[in-house]
């Protein structure tokens, strides 16, 4: 099984992020194409939203929390994800032999 990582910006672009949106969209198209070409090898992509990781550490704590709060309001669960949740998604895709060509 192959698992790629995409980004929610591929389906919800923001101003100034055209290259990121294009890259994320390309990964999802590549995922579907590789799933067909490499079958029965499974290929999936994980599309996380905003995830609390050290990538955000360059922003001062009060501002970072304000950004997280604003971004969380744009999500259905009203929260920012954690890295272990994304790892669990990758594990699910690796363990479930029935899933292929999915972006989740």
User: Measured between alpha carbons, how far is residue 17 from residues 14, 60, 89, 102 in Å?
Assistant: 6, 22, 25, 24
103 is catalytic: no
- What is the spatial distance between Cα 74 and Cα 97, in angstroms, rounded to a whole number? 32
| DSSP 8-class letter at 103 | B
Catalytic residue among 5, 6, 8, 103: 6
Active site residues: 6
């Amino acid at each position: 099984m192959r698992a790629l990582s995409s980004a929610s910006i591929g389906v919800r672009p923001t101003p100034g992020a055209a290259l990121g949106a294009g890259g994320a969209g390309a990964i999802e198209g590549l995922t579907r194409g590789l799933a067909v070409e490499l079958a029965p090898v499974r290929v999936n992509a994980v599309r996380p939203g905003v995830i609390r990781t050290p990538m955000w550490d360059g922003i001062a704590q009060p501002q970072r929390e304000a950004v997280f709060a604003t971004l969380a309001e744009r999500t259905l669960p009203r929260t920012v994800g954690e890295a272990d949740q994304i790892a669990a998604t990758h594990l699910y895709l690796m363990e479930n032999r029935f899933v292929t060509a999915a972006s989740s």
